């Protein structure tokens, strides 16, 4: 069964590149949202198998979106991976402590990216 | 009277003894007083004589009556009063006579007989008169033999006693008293012997009464004792007075004696001798002067001057003044009238100054020699010589006659006369000359006979004689016939040929002045010795000087001094001796070293013992004495020992030795005696001075050893004593012009170092005036030079009776203390200031951890006044940085070293601080806490910035990396559209990355000032226009219209950077404007600044973001930048640029929506402007900000109008009714009024009238606008007040603004806008 993965990122180009990378490197179904609110909406609607969440976003940022996801029983159990350009280890530790499957760094290697996501989620099937 | 019965007297032994004692006392008094009377002369003698007579007379009478009382007769006895008194009188008168006669006592018979007879008369007369006064029942008969015997005893014993007294008079001291007592005993025995012999001569015959005792006598025992005591007292008093007087006179007498001998020498001189004080005042003449001048001794100088011949007076006085002024020998000839016959006689006056050891003149010694005879002889000789010369040419015979006459005259002159050829050779000499020389000097020269030392002066004077016309006096030594040199005084006068003027011959009158010279020299020498010896530092020095001077003066070969040993038992050869040059005394001195002699032994012992000069003319006569033999062996044939007597005691014996005795030595011995007498007197004086001086030296040394300066003054403030330290402190303490000059002389100032101390401020004067002076501080030393600060204590000096003797001041140099004090104070001040003004909190914490001190900053840090911190536990507000409030671990003060802590402010905020501590000597700890919240914040910001920058950089990088990674993997080889898309993404993000990097670099460099603004003159309109032109395409794309508005504005700015700023702002404005909106760029001058504004009609800026949007990456919304392709750094860069220009950039929200970004640039005077007008930028003047007051009750409308006007740089105030309008106008005035005709509380026109009425300034231009056409009367009124009318609804805001501008630029011109 094809897994669905939701990408939430306010940067159009990054979203596009990430989606393409995942599509090329796996057989997951990839959907994207350009803000926290949109991501939350899609998560409820699509019930994706995992969510890749940007941290720095205008309006509702990554942690806020995560909190909202966790507040909703429908989305509470969806594994979430933060993908962030933040580099300070303190920031990353703080993010990891919020209860996500992984904190992945930007920029990422588009070829290795699907494998990193799969590994963080404990999935197989990465090409 | 019953006769026939012989009454036998009985004698009381006690009273007899008493009477004998009184007799001895009376005798002692008589002898003592007789000696004293001898020392007095004239009237001064009389009281002594009478007093002495009374004392002795009473003594005799007392002895008699006590003697009488000692006798008891068996009958009552009374005395006849008159006879008793007569007996007393006889005793007194006769005693007086005896004393008077005894004063001249010598070993001569006459006075002795007179004195002893008078004494005998006194005693016997008294006795027998006293006996005659006896009245009683008896008759007295005298045995004539015994009476005679008694008188003889009185006379002889008296004579013997007086002689004895004379012999003993020289003796002094205890021995003298003993001898005098012996004499008195003899005389007293004589008295008693006479009395009792006289008594034994009496026979009392009469009838015995039954009771033979008691009532007998003049009176009872009491009276006897009264008489005895009165007698004793009177006698003792007389003796005491005599002894004291004798003591007192002793030194005076010796000094006087020495001076007398000194003067005697002057008196002995054959000519007139005089002395003068250094100032020229004559203070002594010998008696020859008074004999000659006939003046009294007290005659004044003016009186003396009248005796000088009127023709000579002026010259003589002049010459004397010159000599005194130049201290050079005085030599003048003048005529003085002789008293005896009124004749003016020529005198040669000469004087030489005598100097002391220091060369200061002490006295002038002068002589006045009668040269009348010489003068006369010269005159005659000269006259004849001239005659002779003439005659030679005429007639030989006359010449011979003249020669004969001349010779006759010359030979009769008292002087030796000679004539000399012009060469100086003798061509005539009187027989007296030839006799003097022992040969004829014809054809020879005076120099041939002269002492070699005088040849030069003879030749000099000879040359002078050839040139001068006056007389020349030459003093020289000439060899006599017998080979000795004698002193001659030769007066030479040249005789000139009247026609040729050449010297024809010299006429000389010569006088032998050897004796005069000798006396003069001795006198001068004596003076010099006395002067030199007075200056000697010790007895040895004085002796040494005396020995040398005397040897050189007398020509005696050798001299030595002997001094009595300290116990006075022997006399020792001292180390002081002197031998003239060439005299070998090695053997003598070697043998004499340490030799001592007993009194009377050898001539030294004899001179010592006898206190007189011992003179041995030939040592061979005493060759048995070992010293004489030794002297002989050393070649000394004669010698003399001269005692030096001081206060009647021989203090030294001077021994002189010479090869042989010559005749003149006797005179020299006398001379030496005079000198030693002076020496003795000097030593006596010096002994007293020395004792005093020792005391002073002790005191001086004591004072000098003190570390304080000591200055003592007398009651009037004259300096008396200073010590070493005082002299150092005050410099030359020699100045003693009194207290008025002290501050000036010693440079005493007040503590300011500039104002001199007044007299009343001097410590010593203050204490004299009764003030207490303790620790008075003042400054000594020149202003400007190094000054000393002194602290003075002063107190009065009073004697035991409380009389003021002066005042003494002790001064301590406290310069260093003062300096230290000032330095300490300065350092304390500095510390306090440092602490107070320190940017750091500074706390002083005691051992308990409580604050003992806190500075202002500490208080601010905690948020309380610093005082409130005192006593607080320091760890109640200072916490380790990591701890929270609950834990509050106690601060370990010792561990507080440059650690980070936090201070908890009263409001609970923790302020991070960096702490350093120092433990002070007293155990307290000083804590310096530096507020590092700024630093912490900066660190945080920096951290944040780095984080944000890295995030911002990673965002485009993520896209680039991702797109390129996918392309590179080849996975998109079969999907060209996707591949192309990825390439676009990569390119776009690369551009974004470049912009980002550029902006990041820019913002850093501009904000840090690393980029210099390239300033230049530029036009505001040019900048705005270029920006608008550049942005036009962007605006067009966004559907936004761009407008520019502004007046001329000349700027001093970096055109590129201002353009960049404006571009940024305009770009932002376009970005945030909806389609069809407008963006307006305006510029104008305001308050000396240029103001640029960029206004949009966008959504505005949330109030809390108005400031933060200028921070980096702080867009209102993070997505904004990316939406619009910005970097988030534009505003930060723009603010940096404006700030670098000295201006300000900020954002405002427009009331009517949209945002306005404004920035100012300071306007500068354009100095490149030339010409006569001030180089003030024209624009600045023109662009004066006009003030507009909008009076409109519709709030929205008022706001719209105001905004529009503000857009043109006007300042706009709004009033909503008439009352507010008046208030506003009163507050800030207005250039233009825009008035709604219908106001809620008033007619607009009335409001205008009220406003204008209150304003004396140029009338504010006014625009009245109405909602509808006004009534005609209202129009008229509007026109009359010079206002413009506008009608609402017909006039757009823009049009209104234009009218306002026109109104301002044009004169008032009422018109209507329809």
Please give the interface size between A and B, counted as residue pairs whose CB atoms are below 8 Å apart.
Answer: 88
Residue in A with minimal Cα distance to B1115: A58
Our CA-based measurement puts residue B1118 at a distance from the nearest CA of chain A, in whole angstroms, of 5
Is the CB of A107 less than 8 angstroms away from the CB of B958? yes
What confidence score (pLDDT) does residue B689 get? 67
Of A11, A57, A86, the CB nearest to B959: A11
* Among candidates A17, A58, A59 on the partner chain, residue whose Cβ is nearest the Cβ of B959: A17
Rounded-to-integer distance, Cα B529 and Cα B541, Å:
12
A88 to chain B: which residues are within 8 Å by CB? 943, 947
User: What are phi and psi for residue B787, nearest 5 degrees?
Assistant: -105, 150
0.95 surpassed by complex ipTM: no
Report residue B1235 as tokens.
């008035």
From the CA of B973, how many Å to the nearest CA of chain A?
A: 12
Look at B958 and A85 and tell me if their CB atoms are within 8 Å.
yes
Query: B-side interface with A, Cβ within 8 Å?
Result: 943, 947, 950-951, 954-963, 965-966, 969, 971-972, 978, 981-982, 985, 988-989, 1117-1120, 1122
Tell me the chain A residues in contact with residue B1120 when contact means C-beta distances shorter than 8 Å: 58
Is A59 in Cβ contact with B962 (below 8 Å)? no
Strands (DSSP E) along B814-855, which ranges?
841-845, 851-854
Between strands A50-54 and B78-79, the pairing is unpaired
Q: Which helix (H) or strand (E) holds A33?
A: strand A29-33
Encode burial over B297-308: b for 16+ CB neighbours within 10 A, e otherwise: eebeeeebeebb
Residue segments in chain B with a per-residue pLDDT below the cut of 50: 1-3, 171-173, 208-220, 392, 395-399, 883-890, 1116, 1118-1124, 1169-1184, 1257, 1307-1314
pLDDT in tens, B297-323: 777 777 888 888 888 888 888 888 888
User: Cα(A111)–Cα(B5) distance, rounded to whole angstroms?
Assistant: 195
Closest CA to B1233 of B1198, B1191, B1185: B1191
How sure is the predictor about A126, in pLDDT bands with cuts at 50, 70 and 90?
low
Is the per-residue pLDDT at A83 higher than 90? yes
Cis peptide before A107 (omega within 30 of 0): yes
Q: How confident is the model at residue A91 (pLDDT cuts 50, 70, 90)?
A: confident
pLDDT value of position B587: 79
pLDDT value at position B1126?
Answer: 64
pLDDT at B1120: 47
Q: Can you give the pLDDT at residue B2?
A: 42
For residue B23 the two structure tokens come to: 């007799």
8 Å CB contact of A111 and B965? yes
Cα–Cα distance measured from residue B996 to residue B1126, given in angstroms and rounded to the nearest whole number: 8
* Nearest-by-Cβ selection for A24 from B971, B1118, B1120: B971
Residue in B696, B681, B585, B675 with CA at minimum distance from that of residue B630: B585
Instruction: Check: CB of residue B465 under 8 Å from CB of residue B494.
Output: yes
- Under DSSP, the state recorded for B1243 is B
Separation CA A27–CA A123 (nearest Å): 12
B985:A87 CB<8 A: no
Residues of A in contact with B960 (CB under 8 A): 107
In the sheet where B773-780 sits, what is the strand order?
B719-722, B709-713, B804-813, B788-798, B773-780, B748-749
**Contact in structure between B87 and B130 (CB atoms under 8 Å):** yes
Strands (E), B193-271: 202-206
d(CA A80, CA A49): 9
* Contact across the interface for B965 and A21, Cβ inside 8 Å: yes
User: Chain A interface residues facing chain B, Cβ-Cβ under 8 Å?
Assistant: 10-11, 13-14, 16-18, 20-21, 24, 56-59, 85-88, 91, 106-111, 113
What's the distance, CA B742 to chain centroid?
A: 8
d(CA B1284, CA B1265): 8
> Are the beta carbons of B958 and A11 separated by less than 8 Å?
yes
- Which of A10, A24, A106 lies nearest to residue B958, judging by beta carbons? A106
Give B334's strand partners: B347
Q: What's the pLDDT at B853?
A: 85
pTM value? 0.36
- 8 A C-beta contact, residue B1101 and residue B1109: yes
Structural contact between residues B776 and B766, judged by C-beta atoms closer than 8 angstroms: yes
Residue ranges with strand state E in B545-631: 558-564, 571-579, 596-597, 614-616
Contacts of B964 (CB under 8 A, 6+ apart): B982, B986
With beta carbons less than 8 A apart as the criterion, state whether B1161 and B1185 touch. Answer: no
Q: How far apart are CA B413 and CA B399, in angstroms?
A: 21
Q: Which chain A positions have a beta carbon within 8 Å of B951's beta carbon?
A: 56, 85-87
Pick the closest to residue B1063 from B1079, B1047, B1039, B1077 (CA basis). B1079
Contact B846, B924 (CB under 8 A): yes
Residue among A13, A56, A85 minimizing CB distance to B989: A13
> How would you classify the pairing of strands A4-8 and A50-54?
parallel
Contact A17 B981 (CB under 8 A): no
B1113 close to B1123: Cβ distance less than 8 angstroms = no
Instruction: Please say whether the beta carbons of B1266 and B1238 come within 8 A.
Output: yes
pLDDT of residue B176: 59
Which residues does B318 contact at the CB level (< 8 Å), separation at least 6? none
* Cα B615 to Cα B666: distance, rounded to the nearest angstrom: 9
pLDDT tens per residue across span B1200-1244: 777 777 766 677 888 888 888 888 887 777 778 888 888 888 888
Q: Do B1118 and A56 touch (CB under 8 A)?
A: yes
Q: Inter-chain contact B955–A106, Cβ cutoff 8 Å?
A: yes
pLDDT value, residue B1179: 35
Contact B480, B441 (CB under 8 A): no
Task: Give me the count of residues in chain B.
Answer: 1314
Tokens 């963006």, residue located: B1079
CA distance B1132 to chain A (A): 20
For A112, name the nearest residue in chain B, comparing CA atoms only. Answer: B965
């Amino acid at each position: 069964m094809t897994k669905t993965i939701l990408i939430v990122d306010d940067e159009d180009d990054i979203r596009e590149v990430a989606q393409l990378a995942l599509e090329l490197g796996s057989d997951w179904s990839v959907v994207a949202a350009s803000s926290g609110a949109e991501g939350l909406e899609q998560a409820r609607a699509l019930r994706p198998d995992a969510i890749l969440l940007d941290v720095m976003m205008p309006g509702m940022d990554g942690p806020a979106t995560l909190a909202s996801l966790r507040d909703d029983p429908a989305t509470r159990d969806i594994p979430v991976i933060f993908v962030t350009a933040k580099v300070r280890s303190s920031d990353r530790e703080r993010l990891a402590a919020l209860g996500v499957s992984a904190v992945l760094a930007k920029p990422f290697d588009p070829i290795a990216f699907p494998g990193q996501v799969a590994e963080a989620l404990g999935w197989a099937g990465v090409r | 009277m019953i006769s026939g019965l012989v009454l036998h007297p009985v004698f009381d032994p006690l009273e007899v003894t008493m009477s004998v004692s009184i007799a001895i006392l009376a005798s002692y008094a008589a002898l003592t007083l007789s000696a004293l009377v001898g020392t007095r002369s004239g009237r001064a003698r009389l009281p002594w004589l009478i007093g002495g007579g009374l004392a002795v007379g009473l003594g005799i009478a007392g002895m008699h009556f006590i003697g009488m009382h000692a006798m008891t007769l068996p009958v009552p006895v009374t005395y006849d009063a008159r006879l008793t008194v007569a007996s007393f009188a006889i005793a007194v008168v006769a005693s007086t006579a005896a004393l008077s006669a005894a004063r001249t006592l010598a070993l001569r018979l006459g006075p002795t007989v007179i004195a002893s007879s008078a004494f005998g008369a006194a005693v016997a007369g008294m006795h027998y008169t006293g006996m005659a006064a006896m009245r009683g029942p008896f008759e007295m008969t005298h045995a004539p033999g015994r009476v005679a015997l008694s008188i003889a005893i009185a006379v002889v014993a008296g004579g013997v006693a007086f002689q004895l007294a004379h012999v003993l008079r020289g003796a002094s001291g205890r021995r003298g008293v003993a001898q005098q007592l012996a004499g008195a005993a003899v005389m007293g025995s004589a008295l008693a012997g006479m009395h009792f012999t006289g008594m034994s001569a009496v026979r009392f015959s009469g009838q015995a009464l039954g009771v033979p005792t008691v009532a007998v006598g003049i009176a009872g025992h009491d009276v006897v004792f009264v008489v005895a005591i009165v007698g004793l007292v009177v006698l003792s008093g007389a003796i005491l007075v005599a002894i004291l007087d004798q003591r007192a006179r002793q030194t005076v007498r010796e000094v006087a004696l020495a001076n007398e001998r000194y003067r005697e020498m002057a008196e002995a001189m054959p000519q007139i001798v005089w002395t003068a004080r250094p100032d020229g005042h004559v203070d002594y003449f010998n008696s020859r002067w008074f004999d000659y001048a006939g003046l009294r001794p007290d005659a004044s100088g003016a009186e003396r001057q009248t005796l000088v011949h009127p023709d000579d007076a002026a010259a003589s006085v002049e010459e004397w003044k010159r000599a005194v002024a130049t201290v050079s020998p005085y030599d003048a000839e003048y005529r003085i009238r002789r008293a005896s016959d009124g004749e003016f006689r020529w005198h040669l006056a000469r004087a030489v100054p005598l100097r002391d050891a220091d060369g200061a003149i002490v006295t002038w010694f002068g002589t006045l020699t009668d040269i009348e005879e010489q003068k006369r002889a010269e005159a005659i000789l000269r006259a004849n010589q001239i005659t002779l010369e003439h005659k030679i040419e005429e007639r030989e015979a006359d010449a011979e006659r003249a020669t004969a006459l001349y010779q006759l005259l010359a030979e009769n002159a008292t002087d030796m006369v000679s004539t000399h050829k012009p060469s100086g050779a003798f061509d005539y000499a009187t027989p007296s000359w030839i006799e003097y020389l022992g040969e004829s000097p014809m054809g020879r020269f005076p120099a041939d006979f002269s002492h070699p030392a005088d040849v030069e002066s003879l030749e000099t004077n000879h040359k002078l004689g050839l040139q001068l016309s006056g007389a020349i006096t030459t003093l020289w030594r000439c060899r006599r016939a017998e080979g000795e040199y004698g002193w001659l005084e030769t007066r030479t006068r040249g005789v000139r040929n009247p026609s040729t003027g050449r010297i024809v011959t010299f006429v000389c009158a010569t006088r032998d002045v050897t004796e005069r010279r000798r006396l003069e020299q001795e006198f001068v020498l004596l003076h010099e010795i006395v002067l030199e010896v007075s200056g000697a530092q010790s007895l040895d020095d004085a002796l040494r000087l005396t020995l040398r001077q005397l040897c050189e003066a007398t020509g005696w070969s050798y001299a030595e001094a002997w001094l009595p040993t300290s116990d006075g038992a022997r006399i020792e050869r001292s180390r002081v001796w002197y031998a003239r040059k060439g005299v070998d005394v090695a053997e003598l001195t070697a043998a004499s070293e340490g030799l001592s002699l007993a009194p009377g032994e050898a001539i030294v012992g004899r001179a010592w013992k006898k206190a007189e000069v011992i003179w041995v003319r030939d040592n061979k006569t005493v060759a048995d004495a070992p010293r004489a033999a030794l002297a002989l062996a050393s070649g000394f044939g004669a010698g003399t020992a001269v005692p030096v007597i001081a206060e009647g005691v021989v203090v030294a014996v001077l021994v002189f030795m010479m090869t042989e005795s010559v005749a003149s030595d006797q005179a020299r011995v006398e001379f030496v005696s005079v000198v030693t007498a002076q020496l003795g007197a000097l030593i006596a004086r010096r002994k007293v001075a020395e004792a005093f001086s020792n005391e002073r030296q002790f005191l001086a040394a004591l004072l000098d050893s003190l570390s304080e300066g000591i200055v003592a003054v007398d009651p009037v403030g004259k300096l008396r004593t200073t010590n070493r330290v005082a002299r150092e402190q005050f410099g030359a303490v020699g100045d003693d012009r009194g207290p008025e000059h002290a501050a000036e002389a010693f440079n005493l100032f007040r503590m300011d170092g500039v104002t001199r101390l007044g007299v009343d401020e001097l410590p010593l004067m203050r204490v004299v005036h009764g003030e207490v002076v303790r620790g008075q501080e003042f400054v000594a030393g020149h202003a400007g030079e190094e000054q000393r600060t002194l602290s003075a204590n002063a107190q009065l000096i009073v004697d035991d009776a409380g009389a003021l003797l002066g005042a003494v001041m002790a001064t301590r140099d406290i310069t260093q203390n003062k300096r230290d004090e000032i330095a300490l104070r300065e350092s304390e001040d500095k510390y306090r200031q440092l602490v107070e003004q320190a940017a750091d909190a500074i706390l002083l914490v005691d051992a308990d951890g409580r604050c003992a001190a806190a500075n202002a900053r500490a208080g601010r840090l905690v948020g309380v006044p610093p005082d409130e911190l005192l006593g607080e536990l320091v760890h109640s507000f200072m916490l380790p940085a990591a701890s929270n409030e609950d834990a509050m671990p106690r601060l370990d003060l010792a561990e507080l070293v440059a650690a980070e802590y936090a201070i908890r402010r009263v409001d609970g905020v923790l302020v991070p601080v960096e702490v350093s501590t120092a433990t002070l000597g007293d155990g307290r700890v000083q804590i310096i806490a530096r507020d590092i919240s700024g630093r912490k914040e900066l660190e945080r910001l920096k951290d944040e910035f780095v984080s944000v920058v890295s995030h911002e950089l990673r965002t485009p990088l993520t896209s680039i990396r991702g797109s390129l990674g996918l392309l590179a993997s080849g996975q998109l080889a079969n999907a060209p559209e996707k591949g192309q898309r990825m390439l676009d993404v990569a390119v776009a993000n690369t551009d974004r990355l470049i912009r980002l990097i550029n902006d990041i670099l820019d913002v850093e460099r501009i904000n840090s000032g690393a980029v210099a603004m390239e300033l230049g003159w530029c036009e505001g309109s040019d900048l705005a226009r270029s920006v608008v032109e550049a942005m036009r395409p962007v605006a067009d794309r966004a559907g936004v219209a761009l407008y520019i508005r502004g007046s001329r504005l000349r700027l001093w700015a970096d055109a590129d950077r201002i353009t960049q700023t404006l571009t940024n702002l305009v770009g932002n404005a376009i970005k945030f404007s909806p389609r069809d909106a407008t963006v307006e760029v305006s510029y104008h001058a305001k308050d000396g600044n240029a103001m640029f504004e960029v206004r949009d009609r966008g959504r505005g800026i949330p109030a809390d973001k108005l400031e933060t949007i200028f921070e980096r990456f702080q867009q209102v919304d993070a997505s904004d930048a990316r939406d619009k392709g910005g970097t988030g750094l534009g505003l930060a860069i723009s603010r940096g640029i404006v700030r670098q220009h000295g201006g300000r950039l900020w954002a405002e929200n427009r009331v009517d929506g949209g945002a306005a970004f404004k920035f100012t640039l300071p306007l500068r005077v354009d100095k490149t402007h030339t010409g006569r007008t001030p180089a003030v930028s024209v624009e600045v003047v023109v662009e004066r900000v006009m003030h507009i007051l909008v009076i409109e009750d519709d709030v929205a409308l008022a706001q719209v109008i105001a905004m529009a006007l503000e857009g043109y740089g006007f300042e706009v105030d709004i009033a909503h009714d008439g009352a507010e309008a008046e208030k506003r106008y009163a507050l800030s005035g207005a250039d233009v009024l825009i008035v709604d005709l219908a106001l809620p509380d008033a007619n607009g026109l009335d409001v205008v009238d009220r406003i204008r009425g209150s304003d004396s300034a140029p009338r504010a231009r006014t625009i009245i606008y109405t909602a509808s056409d006004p009534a005609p009367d209202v129009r008229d009124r509007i026109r009359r007040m010079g206002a413009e009318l506008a009608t609402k609804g017909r006039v757009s805001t823009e049009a209104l603004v234009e009218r306002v501008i026109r109104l301002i630029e044009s004169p008032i011109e009422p018109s209507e806008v329809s």
